[in-house]
Chain A
Amino acid sequence: AQSVTQLDSHVSVSEGTPVLLRCNYSSSYSPSLFWYVQHPNKGLQLLLKYTSAATLVKGINGFEAEFKKSETSFHLTKPSAHMSDAAEYFCVGKSGGSNYKLTFGKGTLLTVNP
């Protein structure tokens, strides 16, 4: 079965500095991986997804993630944080054998300080 681990429950950065949100996965086969963002009292918005076509995936709002099979990681980065990036971020994988079931990480709360 696939599992997803977000290594930090809370990350705090200053506006204009880089963002790194870490995610490791475990899977016995090529995984499907996604990053979603959830702003307070809102639904989940897809930032990007790994489709095996390219290891570096570009998403919306300047975010990107790199799939590293050797490190079983799928870390999310952004060169320069904006105040509007403050939100909860979920690294998500697809459970083995199911087209429907997602495996969610526990989430990382990103705080952006002025």
Chain B
Amino acid sequence: DTEVTQTPKHLVMGMTNKKSLKCEQHMGHRAMYWYKQKAKKPPELMFVYSYEKLSINESVPSRFSPECPNSSLLNLHLHALQPEDSALYLCASSQDGGAGGWETQYFGPGTRLLVL
């Protein structure tokens, strides 16, 4: 099974709201990722967790706050977002077993976020 699940599928929020995106995988992967994808563009990396510790933050604004409560779960907390943050947010996971460049990232279906 190579499934990464994400909830919700769609989210509409105002600029003063607080919401969270959830990602889950049961493949035993120890690296988990958040990406942002704008229309007709490739995904852009936001955060990487390795063994539940934040490994990479690609200079993402603090209104995005990631959390990795356990090895299967990854959250993205959203607060005071701007309309330009509207995008498809993708979660991915990989084994992080030291194979380096050969490891495959498996993507979830994404959450379509609209900020009004």
Knowing A90-B42, A100-B48, A104-B43 are in contact, say whether A45-B104 is a contact too (CB < 8 A): no
Q: Are B50 and A43 in contact (CB under 8 A)?
A: no
Contact residue range for chain A?
Answer: 20 to 34
Task: Tell me which residues across on chain A come within 8 A of B67, comparing CB atoms.
Answer: none
Taking CB atoms, residues of chain A closer than 8 Å to B102 are 32, 49, 51
Contact at B107–A44, with CB atoms within 8 Å? yes
Number of interface residues of B (CB under 8 A): 30
Q: SS class of chain A's interface: helix, strand, loop or mixed?
A: loop
Do B107 and A104 touch (CB < 8 A)? no
B74 located at the interface, meaning its Cβ lies under 8 Å from any Cβ of chain A in the complex: no
A 82-114 binary contact with B (CB < 8 Å = 1; else 0): 000000001000100001111011110000000
Q: In the complex, are the beta carbons of A102 and B109 less than 8 A apart?
A: no
Are B104 and A44 in touch, CB under 8 angstroms?
Answer: no
Q: Does A100 contact B56, Cβ atoms closer than 8 Å?
A: yes
- CB pair B104–A100 under 8 Å, yes or no, is no
CB of B69 within 8 A of chain A?
no
14 contacts between A and B (CB under 8 A): A32-B102, A43-B4, A45-B107, A46-B106, A94-B100, A99-B31, A99-B100, A100-B50, A100-B56, A101-B45, A101-B56, A102-B45, A105-B42, A106-B42
Which 9 A-B pairs rank lowest in CB-CB distance, beginning with the nearest?
A: A104-B42, A32-B101, A44-B107, A94-B101, A43-B109, A43-B107, A100-B48, A43-B110, A99-B100
